[in-house]
Amino acid sequence: MIFSILKVRVYTPCQVETKLETTKRDYLQAAVGISSINKLIIPKLVDWYLFDFAKDLDALLDWVGLQLPDELRNQTMKCLEIR
């Protein structure tokens, strides 16, 4: 038998905000990218809940950029400037 190992995170009240912040950044770093035709790819989930994160699309793109590591943030900003 082959079992799939799922990564399960358990949150306790101690430092839950810090752990959730880390999880949010991990998710965005894994899901945000730039396509071969130089378009920014953001998760559909973030798009669906756009107004929970920002007031408009431009503010959302700024917010996403702040969540990314420096190298990916710079690539994202270059992609948006071309747009």
CA dist., res. 6 & res. 4, Å (int): 6
Q: Is residue 70 part of a domain?
A: yes
In a domain, 42, yes or no: yes
Measure the CA angle with vertex 48, ends 47 and 50; round to 5°.
Answer: 60
Kindly report the number of other CB atoms within 10 A of residue 6's CB atom. 5
pLDDT digits (tens, 9 = 90+) for 22-42: 989 999 999 998 888 888 888
**What does the pLDDT look like over 68-82, one tens digit per residue?**
888 888 888 888 777
Is residue 32 situated within a structural domain? no
Q: Which residue range is the domain that position 58 belongs to?
A: 37-82
pTM reported for the whole predicted model:
0.70
Kindly state whether residue 8 falls inside one of the protein's structural domains: no
Residue 44 pLDDT level (bands cut at 50, 70, 90): very high
* DSSP letter string, 39-63: -EE--HHHHHTHHHH-SSHHHHHHH
Per the structure, the count of domains in the chain is: 1
The Cα–Cα gap between 29 and 68 comes to 6
Question: Residue 66 corresponds to which tokens in the numbers above?
Answer: 């702040």
